[in-house]
Amino acid sequence: MNKNIYVQIQEALQKGQRVNIVTTFSGQEGRIHDDLSKKLILDEIIGESIIKPVALKEDESISFYEPIALKDRLIILGGGHVALPLCEFASKTGFHVTVIDDRPEFANHLRFPW
């Protein structure tokens, strides 16, 4: 598989998979691992989930693991007065927000522009 790394990242994220870009530095040369079909189980390497970039030294090389994360999803049922500040707050704090309401005047992009 010799796809562009960004196409591979997009496909993996659309499938809900966790993605990390791994750059390994060895001496004066460095390279980017662009084969996402080889899964790295980072939990086994460092004992916890990676949610921020981290550098690890393994053998004679140093690898930089950079997570690519999807936004967490918040679904709000009802587009009334309580949903307005909740939607704004959630979207500003990193959530992908979906508002569901059977009234078109309450669940639309004009009412919830975030």
Model pLDDT for residues 47-71, shown as the tens digit of each residue: 444 555 566 666 666 777 777 777 7
Predicted pLDDT at 20: 77
Predicted pLDDT at 55: 61
Residues in the chain with pLDDT values less than 70: 1-2, 26-61
14 contacts 70 by C-beta, under 8 angstroms: no
Question: Tokens representing 9?
Answer: 């990242």
Place of tokens 């309450």: 106
pTM metric for this prediction: 0.47
32 contacts 55 by C-beta, under 8 angstroms: no
3-state secondary structure of 11: helix
Cα distances from 92 to residues 77, 89, 107, 112, in angstroms, run 19, 5, 19, 12
